[in-house]
Amino acid sequence: MTRPKIYIDGQSGTTGLEIRQRLADRSDIDLLIIPEDRRHEEAARKQMFEEADLAFLCLPDEAAREAVQLAEGTGVRLIDASTAHRTAWTYGFPELDRNQEERIRQADKVANPGCHATGFIAAVAPLSRSGLLDPETVLTAFSLTGYTGGGKKMIAAYETGKTPQMEAPKAYGLDLNHKHLPEMMTICQLKQPPLFVPVVDDYPRGMLVLVPVSASQLTRKLTLEELQSYFSRWYEGTAVQVHPGNPSLFAADKAGTDDLELFVSGNDDGTGFVIAARFDNLGKGACGAAIRNMEIMLGLPRQA
């Protein structure tokens, strides 16, 4: 049986490099490696697209759009890790609903979710897409991430040039215009952008996305136990693990894995809840998610 050929366009970036490392030892695919001195040549990249069955685009947004044009007509299937196509292509979050994995399986172009967006969507989509959340409501969300989510420049700053300031958490995106907002709104079918504040801290990997939800934002009254049961039923049989509430959570407990844990917490009187998603920003938040989408698209067994 012929093994599918895989190409990574942008193999030297943080996401591309980890995908390459994780695919290198797989026996069920053939990894195409473009020579380092030719990775910017259009002719060499075009040849890779022509030879590959599936390609990962691990590039900045504009470069990803150019890569799609370069791959046009080659027949290669694409998984884009940038933000360029997340509201246009098939969204690569197989747990979104009961039909999403099949949509990914049949798609030629899949947009890999953003790391912050993965946690937000895992927490909000079951409420918004079922009508339990008023689509006009304005949600607030906070996301704590390790510094590897910022790419090579941020990794170098934390690991080789860290200042005393960087030993404490840094909130950013305070203009409330984060690049993940369009996919958060589109996939969760929200009419208003969430008030989203990301925070980066002095640890390498791991992410915790927190979404407080007031009972007044829901379309019907639910107890905490009912909400927990609802999330458990929604994600039953998927890779998302739903847990009862926890009064405190460490952000990096799922570092080094492709798992996503969801915690449904709140007060006893049902007036307020906190939906928390915990995962690895480079696992389920990037590389692990991309590889799982590859497996679904090519009919390959899941490898941890």
Q: In what order do the strands lie in the sheet with 30-32?
A: 30-32, 5-9, 54-57, 77-80, 109-111, 90-91
Q: Which of 58, 115, 188, 287 is catalytic?
A: 115
Nearest to 116 by CA among 165, 204, 181, 61: 181
**Cα 274 to Cα 145: distance, rounded to the nearest angstrom:** 18
Per the annotation, the verdict on 115 as an active-site residue is yes
**Cα 133 to Cα 135: distance, rounded to the nearest angstrom:** 6
**Cα 102 to Cα 106: distance, rounded to the nearest angstrom:** 6
Q: Which amino acid is located at 150 in the chain?
A: G
Query: What does residue 130 show for φ and ψ, rounded to 5 degrees?
Result: -100, -5
Q: Please give the sequence-ordered ranges of beta strands (E in DSSP) within the chain, or none if there are none.
A: 5-9, 30-32, 54-57, 77-80, 90-91, 109-111, 140-146, 170-171, 195-201, 207-214, 240-244, 260-266, 272-279
**Cα 45 to Cα 294: distance, rounded to the nearest angstrom:** 20
Active site residues: 115
